[in-house]
Amino acid sequence: MKKITLILIAVACIGAMMFSSCKKSTPQSTITFVNDTYTPINIVVNGAGKTIPAEGGSVVYVANVNTQASVSASTSGTYGATITWSFTDYFPSSGGDNLREPLDVDAQYFYLEAKYSTSYVKSLIVNEGFTDSTNEIMTIPNDGNTYSIGYYPAFSNTMIKATFTDDSTFTIRNITIPHVLNASYTAYL
């Protein structure tokens, strides 16, 4: 009787192993998020966080086909506005398919860089007199290098005012920022 029981257990175990290895796996697909901005993006998809390198970097998320993807992401410069994204997407319905999802900064914003060659800058005012005006306190040397500042609202008459360590000022008025995705402007001070 023991021999028959052992044989039945062995057959049952072999059958279970064969069934589990023959089981079809759920097909998976991917979403590739591409960073078209000037700064790294922190992204969370369905609770899993990653950082996307700036200017063309990408990350890939994998999930079962037709799975909902709850996406939240943000980026910012050293100063200025934080740009955020929040949306729902779905992983492609066919296994092995990939959805490419670019993350762009809206045309209502621009990325500011500044090149200093006169005196040390102690503050920058972007869009003085507008409701979205910002006064950034900073210390940036006059070494001729270009420095990344951050994202700011783009107006048809955007202005930038620099205050130097000797309290003199320099203003660039009526800057025309192109209303395109991922716009940028370099201020020469």
Question: What is the amino acid identity at position 83?
Answer: I
Same structural domain, 84 and 119: no
DSSP string computed for 129-183 = TSTT-EEEEEEE--SS-EEEEEEEE--TTEEEEEEETTS-EEEEEEE----STTE
Same structural domain, 70 and 129: no
User: How many domains does the chain divide into?
Assistant: 2
Task: Assess whether pLDDT exceeds 70 at residue 61.
Answer: yes
- The pLDDT of residue 160 is 95
Residue 118 counted as domain residue: yes
Residue 12 counted as domain residue: no
- The pLDDT of residue 141 is 80
Residue 148 counted as domain residue: yes
Of the candidates 103, 119, 150, which is a domain's last residue?
103
Q: How far apart are CA 172 and CA 170, in angstroms?
A: 7
Same structural domain, 93 and 140: no
- The pLDDT of residue 121 is 87
Provide the edge-to-edge strand list for the sheet that holds 98-103.
58-64, 28-35, 98-103
Same structural domain, 159 and 180: yes
Task: Assess whether pLDDT exceeds 60 at residue 4.
Answer: no
- The pLDDT of residue 25 is 85
- The pLDDT of residue 132 is 84
- The pLDDT of residue 39 is 98
Same structural domain, 58 and 117: no
Please state the rounded mean pLDDT for residues 157-177.
91
Residue 145 counted as domain residue: yes
Residue 8 counted as domain residue: no
Same structural domain, 141 and 179: yes
Q: What is the CATH number of the domain that holds 178?
A: 2.60.40
Model-level pTM? Answer: 0.83
Same structural domain, 137 and 155: yes
Tens of pLDDT along 8-37? 444 444 444 444 455 578 999 999 999 999
Same structural domain, 58 and 120: no
Tens of pLDDT along 62-105? 999 999 999 999 999 999 999 999 999 999 998 889 999 999 99
- The pLDDT of residue 23 is 59
Of the candidates 44, 76, 103, which is a domain's last residue?
103
pLDDT tier at 172 (50, 70, 90 boundaries)? very high
Tens of pLDDT along 112-138? 999 877 778 889 999 988 888 899 998
Of the candidates 103, 133, 156, which is a domain's last residue?
103
Q: Which domain holds residue 78?
A: 28-103
DSSP 81: B
Same structural domain, 36 and 93: yes
Residue 1 counted as domain residue: no
